[in-house]
Amino acid sequence: MLSSSTPIAYGDAIASVDFTLPGAQVYDNDARKNVSGVMVLAAGDVTFDHSVKYAGGNNDRDPILTRIGVTVPTATVSGYWLEDVNLDGVVKYAGSSNDVIAY
C-alpha cells in the first residue's frame, strides 16, 4: 500500500499526488523503487516479505492459486484482492493477463 506522508485536504478541489516523482512525500518508501529517475511500484509481493519469488518456500505464486480455489488453475476470482497483482480487478493464475507473470 502506498500513501502520502501527510493528510491531503480534498474540499471541492481534486487532490492528486504524483508518486512517480522521487521527491514525493510518501508514508513508506519501501513500496517504491527508483528506475531511471522514475519511482515505480514494486508489483508482485503478494506475501509482503519484501521480495518477489516465483518458486520455493513462501513464494508469491501459491497465494494466487489459493485465492482462486487451488483445484482449477484456470478459474478466476473478481475483485481487487491482494493477489490481484496487475490491478485489473480479477485474480487469475493461468492464461493471458494473469497475476503470476505480471509485466
**Beta-bridge partners for 34:** 39
pLDDT for the residue numbered 43:
78
pLDDT for the residue numbered 56:
92
**Beta-bridge partners for 91:** 77
Which segments within 1-103 are labelled E, that is strand? 32-35, 38-41, 76-78, 90-92
Can you give the residue ranges of every domain in the chain?
A: 1-42, 46-103
| Average confidence (pLDDT) per 10 residues, the chain, 103 residues | 67 77 77 84 82 90 93 92 90 90 66
pLDDT for the residue numbered 27:
72
Neighbours of 68 (CB within 10 A): 21
